Structure 1
Amino acid sequence: MKNLITTFFILIVISGQLYADNPSAAHKKITLNLTDTSEILVKGYIAPIENTGSNFHVEWDALANLRVAEPEKQHPTSVFQSFLPNTPVSVGELWALDATGVLTLLKQLHPKPNLFLHINAGDSYGFWACLRAYNAQYADIVFRIHAEFRLEDGWFTPSQFTGHLIIDRNREKVAFFEMYVPEGVINFDVNWKQDENDSHFHTTTGFCSKIELRAGNQELLESIKFTETITQEVAERALIHKFYKSERINWVPPEQVLEMVEAQQKPIHAVSIDGPLVDESC
C-alpha cells in the first residue's frame, strides 16, 4: 500500500529497543459470539475522487466513476462472525479475521475486492482484529484490513480499512459496525495500465474523503462506559505491529537522542528515509 510522501527526514533509533507485539495485560478472557439471526442493514459510500497526483481521476474513467456498488444492503449476522475470535480473548489480544466475511462486506463497496495485494513486499498482507474494551453488556473490537479493488485496466489500493464492531454480549447481536479508509493528505494509490500493449502500470496517489460501510448509530460507541479497556491508540499500535516490523522499533526524535544515549550508554543508529515506512506499496 502506498502513501507516497516526498518529504526528506531523518529518524534516529537507540539500538535494542522494540515494542512488544501485544500490549495485553493479564485481563480476564471473555468469549465473543453472535447467535442473533436477524439481518443487519449496512450503508456504503464512496465519495467522488477530487484529487490525484497525476490527474488520473479525470483522465481514467474507471477511477473517475468509482462509486459504491450497493449503497444499502442487508447482511446476515453470520457475516460479522468472521470478525470474532475462535477462542476466549482478553483486552489487547489480537487475532486474524476470516477472509470470507471480510470479502462479503468489501463487495458491497466494489464487486472485485482483493485481499492478496498485487504489490506485496511481505509486510502489507493481512486482516487483524483486537479486543479494545468490554463491560457486562458490550465489547468493542477494533480491526485493520489491507485490501484493494480491481478496476478496469488497473488497481485502486487504499492505505487501510479500519473500524469498530460493537457486540451486544447479552443478546449476542451486532450493536454497531463501521469500516472505513482513514482520512489523510493521501489515503490511496492507483496503478493504471494506460496502454494494453504495454506491460507497465502508471502509478500515482490521491485522496478520497469518504470510503465506508456503516451499520447502527456511532453515538452508542461514544456513550458506552467500559470496565476493561485499552486506548484506541494502543489498539492501533498493536495492530500495525502485525503488518510492519519497522513500527516495533522505538524511533526517537533527534532532540531526545543525546540525552538517551548518555543515560543508556548505547550507540546511535541514524536512518535517512525518503517517505513513510507504513501503508506503502512501492
Structure 2
Amino acid sequence: MWPPTHQFPISGLTHVSLLQEDSVRTLGTEGLFLFSSLDTNHDLFLSPEEFKPVVEKLTGISPPVDVEEEVLIDPNGETLTLEAKMQPLVLDSMTKSKDGFLGVSHGSLSGLRSWKSPAAPSSSFSAGEFRMFLPPKNKGQVGDTWWLIPSELNIFTGFLPNNRYHPPPPKGKEVLIHSLLSMFHTRPFIKSRFAPQGAVACIRAISDFYYDVVFRIHAEFQLNDVPDFPFWFTPGQFTGNVVLSKDASHVRHFHLYVPNDRSLNVDMEWLYGASESSNMEVDIGYLPQLELQSKGPSTPSVIVDEDGNVIDSRDDSAEPIQFIFEEIHWSSEISRADAARHMEVTFYPFKKVSYLPFSEAFERAEAEKKLVHSILLWGALDDQSCSGRTLRETVLESSPVLALLNQSFTSSWSLVKELENMQADEQNPVLSEKARLHLENYNFPVEMMVALPNGTIVHHINANVFLDQTAMKPEEEGTTFSFSGGFEDPSTSTYISFLKEGLEKAKDYWAQ
C-alpha cells in the first residue's frame, strides 16, 4: 500500500526563490525571462561573454575573435584514409509525407529521394588536421568536456533562416568538420539553424602518449537546390571518437556516425516557397547508416633513419609500407556511456536530471516510492530530431524545475512509435498496459504526464496548451495555473504548479 501522503520538499529552493522574486520585481517576468536566456550559468550575473549577443544585436558589429592557432600541415607527415558508408533514409519511416498526402509534391522530396550514396566514398586527410580534437590547456583529465565549435544561438538570438541553399565558408575548427561531412553530401551546414549548435568533445581515456576523445556534432544538410525549395535534413546528432597522439602526429583510429539505435533519428523540414515566410512542412524518419571509419591508423609516406635518409617510401604502384603498432594501455579511462552523458549535459542543461528508459523509470519509481514525470513526444527530446525543442530549452532546464524533479520524481521521455511497439508486445503485458495508458492520454506533438509506478496517469497537459497558458499575463483571468511562485518566468512557475498538482492528485490514488 502506498502512503496516503507524499512529501515534495522544496526548502532547497528558498534562496533561489527569494533571488527570483527580487529579480521579478526589478525586471518583470518578461524581462527576467530574457535575462535568464542570456545567463547561461544561471548565477543571476551577466558576464561580458554572456552579454555579447546583446552587443552584436544592437550594434550590428561582432567583436574581434581570438585568432585560432594555424595548423601547419607537414607535407611528409602521416596520412589517414577514411571510408564513408551510407544506407539512405527509409522512406516508409516518414510518418506523414507520402506523395499526394498533405500536399507533398515529388519535387519537395527530390533531393531526399536522389541521395542514396556518399558524395565521396573515400578520402585522405593529414593526421595534423585532427589536432583540433586535442583538449585545450585547461582540460586534461578524463571526463573533461569543452566546446570544439561553440553554439551561438539562444532565446535572444532566435534561429537561423530556413531559405538558404549553400553553407557559408567554414572557418577555424569548422574546416575539418565541413570536410568530413562533405564526404556524405556536398552541402553540410556546420552551424545548425536551431540551438544547441556546434560540437562538444570529452576526454574518454588517457595514456602516456595518446588521448581517446569522444565528440558530438550538431549539423545538418541542405538536400535541395534551385529550382526546388529548400529541404533541411537534420540527423539527431553525429557522434564518434578519435584516438590520437598527444602531439597529433599520429591518428590511431577515427569513427563518426549518426546513431541508429532509435526508431526515428532524423528531422526533416522543407519550405513551400522561396521566402522565409513561406509555409513549412515537417516530418521525421529513420536513417539506418551514415558513417565514416578509418581504414587503419595514419601512416607516413616515407620512413627515414636517424640521419634523415629515406629508407622506405610509399609508392602508388608498389606494395604499401607495412607497420606494426604498439598496443595502447590506458592509464585512466571512463566508459563511452559516461563520456556521452558528460557531453549531453554540456549541450542540454535539462539533462542534469536523469531521464531513464520507460520501463526503468517505473521500476525506479516503484523502489523509491516516487511518481514518474513522463514526456511522450513525436521526436527525441535530447537530440536535434526533436519535437520538444521549446520545452527543453526553457522550463526543463530551469533550476527550480530541476530541483523539484530530482527530489520528488523519476523522469522519462519516450517516442510515440516506441510506445506503440511496446503496447503491441504480447510477451510483456505489464509494460504493454503502461504504454497503452500513456498513448491513451497522448495528443500531438508533446504530452507531459505525471504517472503512478503502476502506469496510471494522474495528471497531464499538452505542450501546445501549456505554451498557450504561459503566454497569458499573470493578471489575466481564466489562467489555469498560478503565477505566484516568483520563479524565473511564467512558464517555470506554471510547470512547477503542474508538477505539484500531479503530486496532490496522486494522494487520492494512494489513499484508495
Task: Bin the TM-score by the shorter chain.
Answer: 0.7 to 0.9
Residue of structure 1 in register with 2:155 after alignment? none
Residue of structure 2 in register with 1:273 after alignment? 375
Larger radius of gyration: 2
**Does the 8 Å CA contact 2:127/2:249 hold for their aligned counterparts?**
no
- Offset, 1:217: 4.2
| d(CA) in 2 for partners of 1:185, 1:269 | 27
| d(CA) in 2 for partners of 1:171, 1:78 | 6
| d(CA) in 1 for partners of 2:207, 2:201 | 18
Letter of the aligned partner of 1:64 in structure 2? R
TM-score (norm 1): 0.74
- Offset, 1:63: 0.4
Distance 1:250 1:214, change over 3 A: closer
* Greater strand fraction, Structure 1 or Structure 2: 1
- Offset, 1:14: 8.9
**Does the 8 Å CA contact 1:35/1:173 hold for their aligned counterparts?**
no
Distance 1:171 1:235, change over 3 A: closer
| Structure 2 stretches lacking a partner, 5+ long | 1-7, 13-40, 42-70, 100-104, 149-172, 225-229, 298-326, 388-512
The answer to whether residue 86 in structure 2 is matched with residue 46 in structure 1 is yes
Distance 1:254 1:281, change over 3 A: closer
Distance 1:158 1:236, change over 3 A: same
| d(CA) in 2 for partners of 1:187, 1:217 | 28
| d(CA) in 1 for partners of 2:145, 2:346 | 9
Structure with more relative contact order (C-alpha pairs < 8 Å, separation 6 or more): 1
* Greater helix fraction, Structure 1 or Structure 2: 2
| d(CA) in 2 for partners of 1:216, 1:243 | 30
Distance 1:247 1:215, change over 3 A: same
**Does the 8 Å CA contact 1:141/1:164 hold for their aligned counterparts?**
yes
Letter of the aligned partner of 1:176 in structure 2? H
Residue of structure 2 in register with 1:79 after alignment? 129
**Does the 8 Å CA contact 2:198/2:218 hold for their aligned counterparts?**
yes
- Offset, 1:128: 0.7
The answer to whether residue 185 in structure 2 is matched with residue 110 in structure 1 is yes
| d(CA) in 2 for partners of 1:76, 1:93 | 26
Deviation string 1:141-180 (CA, Å, 9 cap, x unpaired) is: 1111111001212100001000010113488311110110
Q: Which moved more, 1:231-240 or 1:185-194?
A: 185-194
Distance 1:159 1:47, change over 3 A: same
Residue of structure 2 in register with 1:144 after alignment? 216
**Does the 8 Å CA contact 1:14/1:257 hold for their aligned counterparts?**
no
| d(CA) in 2 for partners of 1:236, 1:199 | 37
TM-score (norm 2): 0.43
Residue of structure 1 in register with 2:364 after alignment? 256
Counterpart among 323, 340, 346 of residue 242 in structure 1: 346
SS of the equivalent of 2:340 reads helix
Deviation string 1:49-93 (CA, Å, 9 cap, x unpaired) is: 223313569941200111311111122223212222231511111
| Structure 1 stretches lacking a partner, 5+ long | 1-12, 22-32, 262-267
Residue of structure 2 in register with 1:176 after alignment? 253
